[in-house]
Amino acid sequence: MNDANDLGDAVSPRYRSSAAARMVNIPVATLRVWERRYNVVGPTQAPSGHRLYSSQDVRRLVLIKQLVNKGHAISMLARLETPLLQ
């Protein structure tokens, strides 16, 4: 079943790890740890093997980084849905 979100997601830009990390202003290593250890986002994988992050992934990462900078624990934030982070 296709809906508007599926279509929008199919044409939305995708960013490789290095670009996503730059946009969030975190090291790529931190992005990988957050993804592996806490499952903060679930990027797709390109046929080449590169992780591809959506605009929604980047927005979620920005929110999480802002909250971590304010002293919140990443382990607690990772479990929350994006609307609750806002």
17-49 per-position pLDDT tens digit:
999 999 999 999 999 999 999 999 999 999 999
The SS3 of residue 83 is helix
Judge whether residue 3 has pLDDT over 60. Answer: no
Q: Which of 44, 47, 48 is nearest to 15 (CA)?
A: 44
Strand pairing class (44-45; 14-16): unpaired
3-state secondary structure of 69: helix
Global pTM reads 0.83
Residue 10: pLDDT band by 50, 70, 90 thresholds?
A: low
The structure tokens 């202003």 sit at 25
Whether the pLDDT of residue 4 is over 90: the answer is no
